[in-house]
Amino acid sequence: MRVVVTGAGGFIGGHVAEAMALAGHEVLAADALGRSATPAAARANLAALADHPGLTLVEADLAVDDLTRLAEADVVVHLAGRPGVRTSFGAGAAEVERDNVTATRRLLAACAERPPGRRPRVVVASSSSVYGSAGDRPHREDDPLRPASPYAVSKAAVERLAAQAARGGVPTVVLRYFSVYGPRQRPDMAFHRFIDAALGGRPLPVLGDGGQSRAFTHISDIVTATLAAATAELGTAEPGTSDPATSDPAAATVINVGHAEPVQVRTAIALLADLLGVRPHVRHYERAPGDVSRTWADTERAARLLGWRARVGPAEGLADQIAWHRGRETWATGAREAARWGAR
């Protein structure tokens, strides 16, 4: 299968591109290094992919460059974008508009220009943040969307674009990822900062009181779900969401990809400290704008359509991320981890 992975310099994109190549697909891995919010990490991720057999790297800014080549595939896994709730306020709003909304619109338009029957399936990265905070039950895909940040609004817009493309004859699958962690996690994300701080003997920077809970999902589970979404027989599309713009059966299939059990940040810190063999020193900072109290994934649809359920729990997953931090001068460690996880 010819597979294009956008955002291949990213945390998720790097793992997915590698796993696709290891699965024997012909992979075109695209990124625009200049658009990464964490360029050192993106450079390292791309370097790890550079000599991978079956994988070709291409520099393409989805918001401005010609995308014809990227649409010539059986599957496009669209993981490029500007992540992060916190940084999307203020000046960051223009970045999420450009790299999430404009980039996705242009990529889907390029796919729509292919002749019918030769259009790729497009797997699009969305986020649990479109829901806002969860109440006393997990969020289902047809729950109302209550985005609470410019980032979440941009992802809701991305979903509408995917639904529109699906109606226009480009098959799309929207994956709502919940907080992802594991080897190569972005340096701005919580566990990465906590582990770095603990290994360096510094206090762990916690935004708020640590009472927030998240459906933390290990990268290996994210990779498995994403590969399944790229290839699964989905039949007639599921109704999208409660959003009237996306809820007709011809619209994009929307699937939660998150661990079924949320974990409080303070519980994860205690677990981390245990695994690292340190006493946790925590420094609390003001809670970030747009930070929701709880994310919680209903995974029934993922199980039914993709045969997927998150398998890696926090103890195993955090131990894996710590191992990566300890040996991360050698990116090969991360690559081997990815191969091992991807193959499960």
Residues designated as active site: 151
> Which one-letter amino acid corresponds to residue 31?
D
Contact window for ligand NAD (CB under 6 A) among 33-41, 136-144, 233-241, 296-304: 33-41
Interaction between residue 31 and ligand NAD (CB under 6 A)? yes
Q: Could you identify the residue written with the tokens 């990822």?
A: 177
Q: In this complex, which beta carbon is closest to ligand NAD, that of residue 81 or of residue 171? A: 81
**What track of x and - describes contact with ligand NAD for positions 154 through 193 (by CB under 6 A)?**
-----------------------x-xx-----x-------
> DSSP assignment, residue 100?
I
Interaction between residue 215 and ligand NAD (CB under 6 A)? no
- Up-side HSE of residue 334: CA atoms within 13 Å toward CB? 28
The size of the interface with ligand NAD (CB under 6 A), counted in residues, is: 31
Q: Which long-range contacts (CB under 8 A, 24 or more apart) does 129-135 make?
A: 129/85, 129/155, 129/290, 129/292, 129/295, 130/155, 130/156, 130/159, 130/176, 131/176, 131/295, 132/292, 133/292, 133/293, 133/294, 133/295, 134/262, 134/292, 134/293, 134/294, 134/295, 134/296, 135/294
Dihedral, 63, 26, 14, 341 alpha carbons, nearest 10: 150
Interaction between residue 240 and ligand NAD (CB under 6 A)? no
Q: For 34, phi and psi rounded to 5 degrees? A: -65, -15
Residues 7-26 contacting ligand NAD, CB under 6 A: 7, 9-13
Q: In this complex, which beta carbon is closest to ligand NAD, that of residue 9 or of residue 334? A: 9
Q: Which of 175, 168, 212 is nearest to 79 (CA)?
A: 175
Take residue 247 and report the two structure tokens written for it: 């809820």
3, 71, 73, 103: which one contacts ligand NAD (CB under 6 A)? 103
Give the shortest CB-38-to-ligand NAD separation in angstroms: 6
Interaction between residue 221 and ligand NAD (CB under 6 A)? no
Give the shortest CB-165-to-ligand NAD separation in angstroms: 16
Distance CA(128)–CA(114), nearest Å, equals 31
Contact window for ligand NAD (CB under 6 A) among 6-14, 66-74, 206-214, 269-277: 6-14
Q: Look at residue 37 and give its three-state secondary structure.
A: coil
87, 127, 220, 295: which one contacts ligand NAD (CB under 6 A)? 127
* Interacting residue ranges for ligand NAD, rule: CB under 6 A: 7, 9-13, 31-33, 35-38, 42, 60-63, 79-83, 99, 103, 125, 127, 177, 179-180, 186
